Amino acid sequence: MRKGLLFYTLLLPLVYIARFSPFGHSLFRWSLWLLLIYTVLPLLLAWAFGFSKEDVGLSTPRGDVLRPLSLLLLLAFLLSIAGTRVPSMVSYYPRFSFSGVPGFIAGELVMGLIMLTHELFFRGFMTFPLVRWNWKAAVLLQDIPYALAHLGKPGLEVPYSFLAGIVFDWLDVRGRSFIPSFVLHWTGSVVFDVLCVLVKAGVLSA
């Protein structure tokens, strides 16, 4: 338990550091910064602590996660439809500019990398070393900094991310892997981006 708490404590400052990329302000360069801060450094720290891949959620999902994942994907789709009625959300997303379908796909791939680093960091590194001590506490301890990391986005993002973080982490603890929440998070993001683009194009009504 002590080793897990120490590991968690050392990770906490990275949540703040991640906001200040020295690589520039473009989405792609920020994704590289997050790859370093949220993935490479925690991996090195986990190795120094003697954690295995399974100890930090880097494993193939096990158990019954397909059913809850499918239900949550459906819920994410319904919430995305509701989200298109919030003007601040529609104007904010997608978070990248693009030209044509290839540009949109490239943007979503960059967003996928960003979400991969977030899910691995918060749901993997910050959660799994604490799960054996108390899984409910582990879920809460990762969720508070995760929600705070959304400060500066549209107002609904912080409370929504807090609730989503609990669901994401519950799903991953159930499957003993960070992969289910990554699939859910990225898929939901892509769907919402598509809907926002269609609203802005006048294809869908807000």
Q: What value does the mean pLDDT take over residues 67-94?
A: 94
- 23-79 per-position pLDDT tens digit: 888 999 999 999 999 999 999 999 999 999 999 999 999 888 999 999 999 999 999
pLDDT at res. 9: 96
- What's the rounded Cα separation, in Å, for the pair 179 and 174? 11
State in Å, rounded, how far the first CA of the chain is from the last one: 49
- 94-105 per-position pLDDT tens digit: 999 999 999 999
- 129-179 per-position pLDDT tens digit: 999 888 899 999 999 999 999 888 887 888 889 999 999 999 999 999 999
Distance, CA of 54 to chain centre: 19
pTM recorded for the entire structure: 0.94
Q: What value does the mean pLDDT take over residues 87-114?
A: 94
Asked if 123 and 178 touch (Cβ cutoff 8 Å), the reply is yes
pLDDT level of residue 206 (50, 70, 90 thresholds): low
